[in-house]
Amino acid sequence: MKFQVFREGKIATDFTLSGAYLFGTDGISIRRARIAFADGCIDCVRPNLETAGLALLWPIEGFGRVLLPTTCLPERERPYVLNVELTRAKLMQITNRREDWSFFDSLEGMEDISKRSQDLFIEAIQHIKDLSAASQLADSSLRRATVYSEKLAVRQGKSLFDKRRKSHGFGRGCLGCRLDPNLIANSQYLDRALEYFASVTLPINWARIEMRQGHFDFSLIDNCMASLSRRKVVISAGPLLRFAADHLPEWLLRSGVGFEKMREMAYQFVSKVVARYAQVVHRWYVVSGLNAFNQFNFNFEQVLEMTRAANMAVRAAGSRAIRIVEVTCPWGEYYATTPNSIPPFVYMDMVVQSGTSFDAFGLQMRFGKDETGMHLRDMMHISSLLDCFAPIAKPLYVTDVEIPSANGKHKFNIDTAGVWHRRWDPTRQSQWLERFYKIALSKPYVEAVNCGSLADGDGGAIASSGLLTEALEPKESFGTLKRLCLSMFKRA
């Protein structure tokens, strides 16, 4: 399957395949697929002849660069025109979302744009033999469709957000942020965090607590817990277990022990941490990212068993706090290239079906990095993903929300990581966060949305994603979320 790439009506001579992957009709990314660009075409080779779609970071004039999918297409000799297929998928998404949301009202000032987008796409199909003309018509259609889809998602989110607010549907601790344990001793840092956040998350890293087997250093966490417990704040802690290299002690990585012994050591660590802080922690992030990060190559049954055992350890240690199983990279791109990984919704479904005792799912949402799962998505794509959680019989906590406030280099370069409308700045970050929070909190099953980085340089995954500068001065986004919080709990 091939896709011809056009820029301004001319075949592209160069194109960077950022975030590119193939996916099947079930939305799951395809393994053993090869994607390459040469001579104006993206060549996609997959291990079977089933229909498939291509997703990749795509520039849209006036809107930015976002990761877009095509529809699922059959293999054929003649190349598809990528510009046309991306537009087709976006228009289909708009139609499906309007039906799912029962959103049939006209969008003030936007219906002409919607109709013009559809008309341009029809023209593109009519001129499909003139590839240059078809690609230009499709580009014009996609620009309008993307703007319209964003307005539609924002309008839908705002409407349901306002209804939830008026019915007092937001609980204490529905807005939170992750803190850096090394900065909590700084009273200015902590005061900023608690200025309007009623919930904070304290990271737990096994690698830093048990640097030598059997020797635990809780001094930093003890001091943090003591400072936070005096502040009448909802305390979340974790992840207790994350099977990525930077969260595992060196001695454990070198140990070579089998799964049974590994499960026993993980159980003991979880039990020790939970027993120590059971009286002050309200939410435990028990396991994080086991769908994607699997340093020891656990098989499917072992992944589920580790998830079950960790949650059991929390309850056995005497904690009655909420137990959260956190999922990372929710679109599942990693599955195409990461051995022994599990597609996110497959993992979640199996955890529920296995009878594991836990209370909620967590979902990481980080954008702005040229890394699997972190390329920028548009608001309708984000809202559509969150809708997939509605059938799951568990509440959802959106965790570690991060978006940059400045353009970066290397992995944070906007050309390969994505950008929204114009180059990143504090105003762009603020506007994006306000839209995201209202869309996420418009979903009745979303219990809380947590910012992943309070201040720049405090360990966030995305550079310059804090609500504060490194000097702890507020950015626009800090004020925006503060106003959002006040509006949520304002009594009429």
Which of residues 121, 138, 161 is at a domain's end?
A: 161
Do 79 and 8 fall within a single domain? yes
Q: Are both 157 and 178 inside the same structural domain?
A: no
Distance CA 364, CA 84 (A): 32
User: Are 325 and 245 part of one and the same domain?
Assistant: yes
Query: In 3-state terms, what secondary structure has residue 149?
Result: helix
User: How many separate domains does the chain show?
Assistant: 2
Do residues 125 and 173 share a domain? Answer: no
256 and 222, same domain (yes or no): yes
The Cα diameter of the chain in Å comes to 71
Look-up of token digits 């995201």: 436
Q: Which of 130, 161, 192 is the last residue of a domain?
A: 161
300 & 436 share domain: yes
Q: Which domain does 438 fall in, by range?
A: 168-488
Contact status, residue 61 vs residue 364, Cβ threshold 8 Å: no
Query: Is the same domain home to 95 and 205?
Result: no
Residues 335 and 375 in one domain: yes
State yes or no: cis peptide before 79, omega within 30 of 0. Answer: no
User: Do 101 and 185 lie in a common domain?
Assistant: no
pLDDT tens, position by position, for the chain (492 residues)?
A: 999 999 999 999 999 999 999 999 999 999 999 999 999 999 999 988 889 999 999 999 999 999 999 999 999 999 999 999 999 999 999 999 988 888 766 666 677 888 899 999 999 999 999 999 999 999 999 999 999 999 999 999 999 999 999 999 998 889 999 999 999 999 999 999 999 899 999 999 999 999 999 999 999 999 999 999 998 899 999 999 999 999 999 999 999 999 999 999 999 999 999 999 999 999 999 999 999 999 999 999 999 999 999 999 999 999 999 999 999 999 999 999 998 999 999 999 999 999 999 999 999 999 999 999 999 999 999 999 999 999 998 999 999 999 999 999 999 999 999 999 989 999 999 999 999 999 999 999 999 999 999 999 988 899 999 999 999 999 999 999 999 999 998 755
**Domain termination residue (choose one: 110, 135, 161):** 161
Mark whether 201 and 338 lie in a shared domain.
Answer: yes
Co-location of 411 and 275 in the same domain: yes
Identify whether residues 90 and 233 lie together within a single domain: no
CATH number of the domain where residue 450 is located:
3.20.20.80
Beta strands 53-60 and 64-69 are: antiparallel
Kindly report the pTM of this predicted structure. Answer: 0.95
